[in-house]
Amino acid sequence: MILSRPILGTVLAMLLVTASAAGTADKIQPLTTDNPVVVELYTSQGCSSCPPADSYLGDLAKRRDILALALHVDYWDYIGWKDQFASPSATQRQRAYVHEMRQRMVYTPQMIIDGVAESVGSDRGKVEGLITEARARAKLPIAFWRDEAGKDWVEIGDGAKPEGGEATVYIALYDGKHETPVQRGENAGSTLTEFNIVREWRPIGKWDGHKIRYPIVIDDQDEDYEACAVIVQQGEVGPILGASAMKMQLH
């Protein structure tokens, strides 16, 4: 389930660290290139139009120049099949994009590319064009580190001060692949294969244009998730300024 958690002042104080920690840490190989395009797919197991987009996201997930993430919305659950990965928070995030992009309504399957453009998720030609356009935008350098104690950190580099104030730093925990037999609803009788399903999405801090490092704090219940993405976004759902992902540690 995707959760959005408030950040308490005491937690924020723990998150801010000095650059001196860099000398005792080893760099972690990311799952993406240095300048990935972020593709968010808003989908649902209860939507008959979504499987082709889910499959396309699986193809995008194989590419290191793209950070492909599936966010399952809950507004299709009423028609007979409750999506086990759906969350009101995913729906809320999609609605925020609708407001930001001045659209009329939410729909599935929808892909949001780098926080600045959208398309029907199964329209491969249009999405590829939007990805090409997004690739031309410069991104923040983001690196992952592991210290001597085995704790993971993310470092966000220097860059131009974000418009409208500080940018939001998000962490997204996700699974690589799931197969789900659907028994009811529009996809009844089908086994759906879905990729890079976001199980939790939460803010971990802010970025104001200066290099900063945050620890990646993972709860015990998060240990089974396969990967962790860090996304720096102008405002809450504005242009994505930088992103990267890494494999989770096995416990």
Let me know the angle formed at the C-alpha of 231 by 27 and 244, rounded to the nearest 5 degrees: 35
Q: Hey, which bits of 107-190 come out as E strands?
A: 110-113, 117-120, 142-147, 152-156, 167-181
Cα–Cα distances (Å) from 216 to 11, 229, 234, in that order, read: 12, 10, 20
Q: What does the pLDDT profile of the chain (251 residues) look like in tens digits?
A: 554 444 333 333 334 443 334 456 799 999 999 999 999 999 999 999 999 999 999 999 999 999 999 999 999 999 889 999 999 999 999 999 999 999 999 999 999 999 999 999 999 999 999 999 999 999 999 999 999 988 999 999 999 999 888 999 999 999 999 999 999 999 999 999 999 999 999 999 999 999 999 999 877 655 578 999 999 999 999 999 999 999 987 54
pLDDT at 11: 37
pLDDT at 219: 72
Distance (Å, whole) CA 15 – CA 158: 18
Other Cβ atoms closer than 10 A to 131:
21
What is the phi/psi pair of residue 150, to 5°? 85, 10
If you ran DSSP here, which 8-state letter would residue 173 be given?
Answer: E
Buried b (16+ CB within 10 A) or exposed e, 59-96: ebbeeeebbbbbbbbbbbbeeebebebbbebbbebbbe
Please name the residue that has the structure tokens 């939410």: 106
Q: What does the DSSP assignment read for 75-119?
A: TTGGGS---TT--HHHHHHHHHHHHHTT-S---SSEEEETTTEEE
pLDDT at 220: 60
pTM: 0.89
